Structure 1
Amino acid sequence: MSTNVGENWARSYEYTAEALARPTSVGEVQDLVAAATRVRALGSRHSFTDLADSPGTLLSLERLDSPIDIDPQSRTVTVGGGVRYGDLATELQREGWALHNLASLPHISVAGAVATGTHGSGDTNGTLSSAVSALELVTASGELLTLHRGEPDFDGAVVALGALGIVTRVSLDIQPTFDVRQDLYDDLTFADLLADFDAVTSSAYSVSLFTDWLGDTLRTVWIKSRMDAAAPPERILGAPRQDVGRHMLPDQPAANVTQQGGIAGPWSDRLAHFKLGFTPSNGDELQSEYLVPRRNAIAAIEAVRSLGPRIAPLLLVTELRTMAADSLWLSGAYETDAVGIHFTWKPLAAEVRAVLPEIEALLLPLGARPHWGKVFSADRGDLEPLYPRLGEFRELAARLDPQRKFGNAFLERTVY
């Protein structure tokens, strides 16, 4: 057990936990949890706040002996919570299977991404959490609890912010493998986007729009098209397709991002934006994101544009993505199709935290839910109206963890 926990991957948060444990078996996880006074899981360190911290011990599952178990009959894969999506995707592809989607970064752990409602993109694609069919967790007593889709507590236990226990195994829906091509489009105007938002986001299996919020034109549009579906268009609302691939940040090398230029390849090498073996995104950065009900997407985009001159000096890039509704209580897409407005900020913590209340004053009245793993200023009073099942989640947490062994300052501020 180490006493030097260190920082998150972007070096924007330093953990305050007293110790870091790296168990190698589920039994060891059970023993550690049962003996602990305060304990939480630490994933791949891709959260940007104190969400994953603990006043006691942090418990990493990166060394957990947990094989990837594919069940062709049920079309599920069961995997250890600490496994990274990129590693899981490689193994699934090798065996002829696929997940429905991936987030921008393949570096993130399965349990951490699921617990925070992390997502990919696509009008008909749910969040990564929506693929969960079962999960196994170690509760505060050290007992092992398995929940399956359809059981009473399941929808409250998937996106659970680590508040219910240490998730040791997760079962995910899979499908037969498929190939994808990735294409870029330049010079899409805001006027055309806002006039026919649905036409843009429905133009491919997965669509991402990048902007700095200045001017009349977006920076670029990335679309990911399944090769078993219609070919991508030559133009999207007048924006021409580009032959040369590139990073979404102008000063970063294209070698860091997944293959573009319309070259087909397996889903595992295309659905994420970044390659597993390379530094994700910019590296030194902060991130914020707000998931807006799709019915309010146009109003939300117009609202953020009005803050463009305030936002742009602090910003590396904004990405807009879509996702389908789900039934998970603390999901940003709970009972609504949603549009994610994601901000990748320069590492200017004070300045970013100063502008977030201005952004939230415009977006939260439109129903925007902050991404749990990223930087936001809203507290429980702000979040309560946005999550109609938040009270039931507190009851579930009180039942499974009455002493708040898995609690921390983040949960006190936003949930409890």
Structure 2
Amino acid sequence: MTETHALFPRRHPQQNAHSPTILNWARNAELAPANAVVKPKNEAQLQEVIATATGSVRMMGSSMSPGRMLALSQPGDVLVDLSRLRGVLAVDDESVTFAAGTSLHEVFTTLTTLNRMLYASPGVIDSQTLAGAISTGTHGQGMKQSSLADEALNIRLVDAAGHIHDIDRNHPSFGAVQLGLGTLGAISAVTLRTCPATLFTCFKSASSADTLADDLRNWNQQWTFSKAWWFPDEDKVHAWNAREANAEEQTLWRDNRGELVALEETDEQMNATVDKTLEQMRDDTKIVDENGKPFRTVTRFKDFSDVIGDVYQVFCRGIATPQINIEIGIPMARVPAVIERMKAWHNDSQPHMHYPIILRCTGASSAWLSPAYQQPTCFFGFVVYYAEDGSLSEEGLEFLRAAEQLLAEEGGRPHWGKYFDPTLYDWPTLYPQWSEFQAIRRRFDPHGKFLNTFMTEVLS
């Protein structure tokens, strides 16, 4: 088992603009010396950077992944910043092609302007780059969709020799490239399938957790999109269930100038539960500001109301806050048994809960290394926020480790872009296409140019 200090590092102090070292977004890991970062202006420069590199090459995206995924290993390695490769490259009747460094926020805004949307529900935040989100398996919620990578029609990839590959859904390597962890090459562009923009009404509710397994199944069968937060200490569940808005609801949204509509009737059922959670979070984080970002993430459950908006207004409402976030995918068929085991474990051990358990279910994915590969999956998410001094609640971390161990024993697959202990997982057993992925990786990158120390350990 990985040591806690390595798995969940402290945050570094705030850097100034002239710091010689680049940190990841959460400031809990050093990625590279500042002079090892290159920012190609276009695809041709990206090809040259990769082809002429004598050391390893990693992509930094928006640097929101754990540092070990991105960090350089040796002097002479290169960290590539694709932020200059952004914007729309092509539009047709059914798809839009974006440069790889485009942020998800820009992707969603552009699609909204075009009166389109993705079939996939968005994740919680939209700060990630498109290439980074695809490469790590970013997903939303709803059984009729899966990860963002499953909306890709074509992925343009630069291999270790600097050669360009246009890989579409009929290409035999597509399932590997969909979620490649940055180990097959550098993505330079992605074509995403789109559909006409649709408005949704999201109904929010509070209920007992006694029937959580049945409720979770029913919500995901009956609603287009569904997401839930489980508060085991209080035996409560808060759920968001959305369907397409009817004509009257669409009129309300248009009358509100296209902004999210919060219906007037509010529900106070979660208020006492939220207040208890806020008290624990304040004790853990020692954050003085009553309106600090971590607190705002849970305060939204107080006096909740149903809302009307587009899918991005409804679901992409997270607050980017430095945290340790573990998310483990469990096959839907196993979810009832896993929930019962978690309830029994919670009753026996009474772990310190820093934040509710987040439940987001998706349909099957075609990406070979997706935690939802070939099977509908429910993702169990666990969060501990950083304290003001950069530390983490020890009791909260104990809970994270125990929860991950339990879910790993149940055949869970971790979200690649979040925190996980790799020693808990037997990758070839979890992923049927593991050997095929390795073979394709070696084809695109025969000498391991796109590997760093951590990715070498995982893939070996």
The two structures have a TM-score, normalised by structure 1, of 0.86
Alpha carbons of 1:316 and 1:217: their partners in 2 closer, same or farther (altered >3 Å)? Answer: closer
Q: CA deviation at 1:201?
A: 2.6
Percent identical among aligned pairs is: 25
Q: CA deviation at 1:293?
A: 0.4
Q: Say if 2:235 is the partner of 1:216.
A: yes
What is the alpha-carbon distance in structure 2 between the residues aligned to residue 317 and residue 380 of structure 1? 23
Q: CA deviation at 1:244?
A: 6.0
Contact 2:100 2:187 in 1 (8 A): yes
Q: Say if 2:365 is the partner of 1:346.
A: no
Alpha carbons of 1:353 and 1:20: their partners in 2 closer, same or farther (altered >3 Å)? Answer: farther
Of 13, 19, 25, 1:9 maps to 25
Q: Say if 2:66 is the partner of 1:48.
A: yes
Map of 1:294 onto structure 2: 332
What is the alpha-carbon distance in structure 2 between the residues aligned to residue 334 and residue 109 of structure 1? 22
RMSD: 3.0
Q: CA deviation at 1:392?
A: 1.1
What are the residue-to-residue correspondences of 1:362-373 with 2, within 5 Å? 362-373=406-417
Equivalent position amino acid for 1:333 in 2: A
What is the alpha-carbon distance in structure 2 between the residues aligned to residue 69 and residue 357 of structure 1? 45
Map of 1:304 onto structure 2: 342
Equivalent position amino acid for 1:71 in 2: D
How many residue pairs align between the two structures? 395
Greater Cα offset, 397-406 or 249-258: 249-258
What are the residue-to-residue correspondences of 1:308-387 with 2, within 5 Å? 308=346, 312-313=351-352, 315-347=354-386, 348=392, 355-379=399-423, 382-387=426-431
Of 239, 263, 267, 2:311 maps to 267
What are the residue-to-residue correspondences of 1:144-293 with 2, within 5 Å? 144-186=164-206, 188-218=207-237, 220-227=238-245, 243=266, 250=278, 252-253=295-296, 261-274=305-318, 279-280=319-320, 283-293=321-331
Map of 1:19 onto structure 2: 36
Q: CA deviation at 1:224?
A: 2.9
What is the alpha-carbon distance in structure 1 between the residues aligned to residue 399 and residue 96 of structure 2? 42
Of 151, 164, 185, 1:131 maps to 151
Equivalent position amino acid for 2:352 in 1: P
**Who wins on radius of gyration, i.e. which is larger?**
2
Contact 2:88 2:96 in 1 (8 A): no
What is the alpha-carbon distance in structure 2 between the residues aligned to residue 398 and residue 204 of structure 1? 42
What is the alpha-carbon distance in structure 2 between the residues aligned to residue 243 and residue 389 of structure 1? 48
SS in 2 for 1:335: coil
What is the alpha-carbon distance in structure 1 between the residues aligned to residue 447 and residue 297 of structure 2? 49
Q: CA deviation at 1:355?
A: 4.9
Where is the helix percentage greater, Structure 1 or Structure 2?
Answer: 2
Greater Cα offset, 376-385 or 22-31: 376-385
Alpha carbons of 1:125 and 1:256: their partners in 2 closer, same or farther (altered >3 Å)? Answer: farther
Map of 2:46 onto structure 1: 29
Map of 1:118 onto structure 2: 138
Q: CA deviation at 1:137?
A: 1.1
Equivalent position amino acid for 2:431 in 1: Y
Alpha carbons of 1:138 and 1:112: their partners in 2 closer, same or farther (altered >3 Å)? Answer: same
Q: Say if 2:87 is the partner of 1:61.
A: no
What is the alpha-carbon distance in structure 1 between the residues aligned to residue 312 and residue 20 of structure 2? 34
Q: CA deviation at 1:270?
A: 2.0
- Per-residue CA shift, 1:42-86, capped at 9, x if unaligned? 1112212411222221111111254342211xx111101111111
What is the alpha-carbon distance in structure 1 between the residues aligned to residue 49 and residue 350 of structure 2? 44
Map of 2:448 onto structure 1: 404
- Per-residue CA shift, 1:310-342, capped at 9, x if unaligned? 685363332101100022110111011000001
Equivalent position amino acid for 1:290 in 2: I
Contact 2:90 2:97 in 1 (8 A): yes
What is the alpha-carbon distance in structure 2 between the residues aligned to residue 33 and residue 322 of structure 1? 37
SS in 1 for 2:420: coil
Contact 1:97 1:176 in 2 (8 A): yes
Equivalent position amino acid for 2:413 in 1: R
What is the alpha-carbon distance in structure 2 between the residues aligned to residue 263 and residue 196 of structure 1? 21
Q: CA deviation at 1:386?
A: 0.5
Map of 1:237 onto structure 2: none
Give unmatched runs, 5+ long, in structure 1: 232-240
Contact 1:53 1:408 in 2 (8 A): yes
What is the alpha-carbon distance in structure 1 between the residues aligned to residue 343 and residue 437 of structure 2? 34
The two structures have a TM-score, normalised by structure 2, of 0.78
What is the alpha-carbon distance in structure 2 between the residues aligned to residue 181 and residue 200 of structure 1? 14
SS in 1 for 2:228: strand
